[in-house]
Chains A and B, each alone.
Chain A
Amino acid sequence: MAGIRIDSVTKSYGGLAVLKAFSLDIADGEFVVLVGPSGCGKSTMLKILAGLEEASSGKISIGDRDVTDLAPGDRDIAMVFQNYALYPHLTVARNMGFGLKMRGTDAGEIDRRVNEAAKILGIDHLLERRPRALSGGQRQRVALGRAIVREPQAFLMDEPLSNLDAKLRVHTRAEISALHKRLRVTTIYVTHDQTEAMTMADRIVIMKDGVIQQIAAPDVMFREPANLFVAGFIGSPGMNFLKAKAEAKGGGATAKLFGHDVTLPVANGGALAGKDIVVGLRPEHIAAGPGQVSFTVAPRLIESLGSEQYVYVDLPEEHRREASAGGDDETRRTSLIARLINPEPRPPEETLTLSFDPARLHVFDAASGEAIR
């Protein structure tokens, strides 16, 4: 096991830069998740780390070894692929032992390690089968097993859960976390699913267009998103964004929200005066009934999940942000979602009083998108 150091790695295809100066230090035994929308460069970064693609510039070390220009097989890493890449002509046992066999490990040792890994994953009864005779979940375990058997310095996982159905995905997610706690092998996990990132990661690296947006522990990322993109990406449903103008008042700053002057939770309020800002408010921080800042709305739609309700409200015109080119979808821009926990049943046509705590607000610079605290 070893830490991994990625030092300003870039990658471009012709004129198209898909990775811009990616730097990351991963501690020994850490579980790091790279997350972002498709095309953000996360899979490319993983392939570069595995040695399947060449970095245009930059340096990668695993442990104390510089591996930047080392063949994949010499990096002592194991990778789990999205489609598992199990060899159909080999049995489960030989699939798992393939890497060891290629390295010339003797047969007895391969057997011992394959059996051990199979026991950990609960697939010891499947060892003589071929991959096509397995279910999706079982194949996924075999793919994990193939990685474990090698006892590598690090695991690289490329969206390993995306081919599973929703229920199995939740289950396997927990299993991978448990496996990581048990083996303590440095793991880099790529996904586009923020829930996987939140639930599994020690640290999340969130990327967009080849640029790291923020590196933080899941809770920190949820509570203190660095910019509008991170705020919108982490959390489900995503954060509500309201356009507003900051005004100076006393030492702090206020903004007019739903007709109220609301004090913004920022340190240096005076500097904000007159600036265009975007105020972020998480759906779960909106409560039913009157509170510190209350407003009355006519819900457009109420979705009930039993334990919670999603209330969709049309945003007043002055709070709507400009439609960005190819950006968020129209309903997110024009509506506010409130997530009410343990709600009482209510008819959709009834007007509703909602409220929020101004301390829970997030403030972003409208021009740059950066968070202001």
Chain B
Amino acid sequence: MPRSAFLDLARPSRRHWLGYLLLAPAVLLIALIIVYPLFVSVDLSFQNVNIARLDQPRRPFTTANYERLFASEDFWNACWVTFKLVTIVSFFCFLLGLGTALLVNNRFKGQALARLLVALPWAIPEVIAVVIFAWLFDSSFGLMNWLFIKLGLVDQTINWFSSPDAAFAVVCTVMVWKGYPFVSIMMLAGLQSIPEDFYNAAKVDGARAWQRLVHITIPSLMPVIGVTLVLVMLWVFRDFSIIYVLTGGGPLKATQSLSIMTYEQAFGFFKMGYASAIGVITLIVCVIASRLMIARAPDNI
């Protein structure tokens, strides 16, 4: 029986229909759970709303939320905290991630186990990791205080969660611990795609181990580094649960990042319009930052 020419999706001229058909469910889902809320929050940020309800009539258009935001000291503090977090955590994630990847990329006995251990923190749920670290850093019973005193680094216990600098350091530590395995896994994948002969050629050319790292390994990893950096930065930027469970943004707002501030305004003080404005700013900063990063990644591989 001849198939209808119109419905035969295997025909070359109909093939793109099949593509659209297969894409449709994903596109619909994304539209429903990402694009629609996005528009709603942009809309909310221009209204004076306290508790948002979709069945309420629209409030009049206003830019009061943004004016308040830019005048607020808390907002600039949160920006600074977020910036510090992103810079410090990304830097140490890369240092640790690349280091461990280079280590487990070597052939040795127990390599599979070592790779597993390196990746382990990634598999642990954030909240559980935070609870573990909260105990480690506990001011009376914590392992860290005991260790620091034993090592002679301090002479009295540190109250980790009441000193702004110490609390910030603990948050950074947990985030690095949680985030470096991802970098490590990405770097390991990148390392394994570098042809062995690059290293052989460099060895014959007289390059020492450090020179091979700087001139061969790092440049060959650049595309992976670019993408990984963006993903890690975005993760730090919007991570909520680690800071919220560990410090709740305190003490004295020392760890209040933009995402914590958004949550506090929306569900602590029920100022959803104001919170939406913070969210929109966060979104814009993220988009610009990741565009810059991707554009900076060299296109030479």
Contact, CB under 8 Å: B300 / A73? no
A6 to B219, CA, bound (A): 37
Asked if A316 is at the interface of the complex by the 8 Å CB criterion, the answer is no
**From residue 30 to 82 of chain A, which have CB atoms closer than 8 A to chain B?**
50-52, 71-74, 77-79, 81-82
A87 to B198, CA, bound (A): 7
Instruction: Count residues of chain A with CB under 8 A from any CB of chain B.
Output: 27
Q: Shortest distance in angstroms between B54's beta carbon and chain A's nearest beta carbon?
A: 52
Instruction: Please choose the segment from A9-17, A20-28, A96-104, A214-222 that sits at the chain B interface, where 4 or more of its residues have CB less than 8 A away.
Output: A96-104
On whether A73 and B216 interact (CB within 8 A), knowing A52-B200, A88-B300, A88-B301, the answer reads: no
With both beta carbons as reference points, the residue of chain A lying nearest to B223 in the complex is identified as A89
- Out of B198, B211, B301, name the residue touching A85 (CB < 8 Å): B198
Asked if B195 is at the interface of the complex by the 8 Å CB criterion, the answer is yes
- Out of A102, A130, A146, name the residue touching B206 (CB < 8 Å): A102
On whether A79 and B201 interact (CB within 8 A), knowing A87-B216, A89-B220, A102-B211, the answer reads: yes
Most chain-A CB neighbours within 10 Å: which of B195, B208, B215?
A: B215
Q: Is the interface of B mostly helix, strand, loop or mixed?
A: helix
- Out of A71, A130, A132, A150, name the residue touching B203 (CB < 8 Å): A71
Asked if B298 is at the interface of the complex by the 8 Å CB criterion, the answer is yes
**From residue 187 to 231 of chain B, which have CB atoms closer than 8 A to chain A?**
195, 197-198, 200-208, 211, 215-216, 219-220, 222
Contact, CB under 8 Å: B197 / A73? no
Q: Shortest distance in angstroms between B212's beta carbon and chain A's nearest beta carbon?
A: 9
On whether A98 and B205 interact (CB within 8 A), knowing A52-B200, A85-B195, A85-B200, the answer reads: yes
A130 to B219, CA, bound (A): 14
Contact, CB under 8 Å: A150 / B201? no
Asked if A83 is at the interface of the complex by the 8 Å CB criterion, the answer is yes
Residues of B within 8 A of A82 (CB): 197
Contact, CB under 8 Å: A72 / B204? yes
A80 to B7, CA, bound (A): 57
Residues of B within 8 A of A72 (CB): 200, 203-204, 206
Place the interface of chain B in its size category. 20 to 34
On whether A150 and B200 interact (CB within 8 A), knowing A88-B300, A89-B219, A89-B298, the answer reads: no
A132 to B300, CA, bound (A): 8
Q: Shortest distance in angstroms between A175's beta carbon and chain B's nearest beta carbon?
A: 21
Q: Shortest distance in angstroms between A39's beta carbon and chain B's nearest beta carbon?
A: 19
Residues of A within 8 A of B300 (CB): 88-89, 130, 132
Q: Shortest distance in angstroms between A19's beta carbon and chain B's nearest beta carbon?
A: 18
A65 to B295, CA, bound (A): 51
Contact, CB under 8 Å: A81 / B205? no
Residues of A within 8 A of B205 (CB): 73, 78, 98-99, 102, 146, 150
A88 to B220, CA, bound (A): 8
Interface string of B140-181 (1 = CB under 8 A from A): 000000000000000000000000000000000000000000
Q: Shortest distance in angstroms between B19's beta carbon and chain A's nearest beta carbon?
A: 30
Contact, CB under 8 Å: B204 / A50? yes
A156 to B201, CA, bound (A): 11
Contact, CB under 8 Å: A81 / B200? yes
**From residue 266 to 297 of chain B, which have CB atoms closer than 8 A to chain A?**
none
Q: Shortest distance in angstroms between B5's beta carbon and chain A's nearest beta carbon?
A: 43
Q: Shortest distance in angstroms between A91's beta carbon and chain B's nearest beta carbon?
A: 10
A77 to B201, CA, bound (A): 11
A156 to B206, CA, bound (A): 15
Residues of A within 8 A of B211 (CB): 102
Q: A73-B207, A85-B201, A87-B198 are known; give 15 further A-B pairs, CB within 8 A.
A: A51-B203, A72-B206, A73-B203, A73-B208, A74-B206, A79-B201, A85-B197, A87-B216, A88-B300, A88-B301, A89-B220, A99-B206, A102-B205, A150-B205, A156-B204
Q: Which 6 pairs show the lowest CB-CB distances between chains A and B? A: A73-B206, A99-B205, A85-B197, A85-B201, A89-B219, A72-B203
| Partner-A contacts on B (CB < 8 A) | 195, 197-198, 200-208, 211, 215-216, 219-220, 222, 298, 300-301
Q: List 26 A-B contacts (CB under 8 A).
A: A50-B204, A72-B204, A72-B206, A73-B206, A78-B205, A79-B200, A79-B201, A81-B197, A81-B200, A81-B201, A83-B195, A85-B201, A87-B215, A88-B300, A89-B219, A89-B298, A98-B202, A98-B215, A99-B204, A99-B206, A102-B202, A102-B207, A102-B208, A102-B211, A102-B215, A146-B205
